[in-house]
Amino acid sequence: MSRGLTTAPESSVVALAMTGDDRAFHELVLRRQGKVRDLLRRLCRNHALADDLAQQAFLKAWKSLPSLREPEAFGGWLRSIALNVWREEARRGGVILEADDGRLDETPDPVSRHAGVEARMDLEEALNRLSAGERLCLVLSHAEGMSHGEIAAAAELPVGTVKSHIARGGEKIRRWLAIGEGDD
């Protein structure tokens, strides 16, 4: 891999990849794989499946790259492809995003509060206990920093449902991770 590609701005690498340059596309995969895999790992309950879906997302991106209009929009465009791949997989598995599992009252023992890797594992465990819709909305809101409107558009859900999923899911996570108001 040439040093030029590694240090080039992403929009330049995207523009090069759009012309069919495989080295440029490889560089984009290297740069973006972490974000895409993290997103899908939080949405799936299974890391191996998440990595398979991430690979599918990159292949779809490679096929559709010539149709991308703005190289600067690559990150958001790739995220929407990854979300579509996950949604297709969820539909195949019969997951309904609008559904609320109503388990707010069924609060399990809170997992202990740790820092670093253990806290992340606790978060994953807590995420696994949420409904698919709550997990999707919370991940897009907290990890991706998307607004309620953006999440509603990406998830094809009404804004009200998105707000309710975020509120209920957030409440469950706070209980399970034993995070109270004023904690840091």
Using CB under 8 A as the criterion, which residues of the chain lie in contact with another protein when the complex forms? Answer: 18-20, 22, 25-26, 29-31, 33-34, 37-38, 41-42, 51, 54-55, 58-59, 62-63, 65-66, 116, 119-120, 123-124, 138-139, 142-143, 170, 173-174, 177, 179-184
Q: How far is the CB of 102 from another protein (least distance, A)?
A: 21
- Asked whether 133 and 165 are in contact (CB, 8 A), the reply is yes
Shortest distance, CB of residue 148 to another protein, whole angstroms? 13
CB of 94 to another protein, least distance (A): 26
CA angle 54, 46, 177 (to 5 degrees): 115
HEC string of 102-155 equals: CCCCCCCCCCCCCCHHHHHHHHHHHHHCCCHHHHHHHHHHHHCCCCHHHHHHHH
CB of 91 or CB of 124, closer to another protein: 124
Nearer to another protein, 2 or 94 (CB): 2
Give the torsion through C-alpha atoms of 70, 71, 76, 78, to 10 deg. Answer: 120
Cβ distance to another protein smaller for residue 94 or 180: 180
**Judged by CB, which is closer to another protein: 52, or 72?**
52
| Minimum distance of another protein from residue 106's CB (angstroms) | 20
From the list 143, 2, 165, the residue with the least C-alpha distance to 83 is 143
- 87 vs 172 by CB, closer to another protein: 172
Evaluate whether 148 touches 155 at the Cβ level (below 8 Å).
Answer: no
CB of 117 to another protein, least distance (A): 9
Phi and psi of 81, rounded to 5°? -65, -45
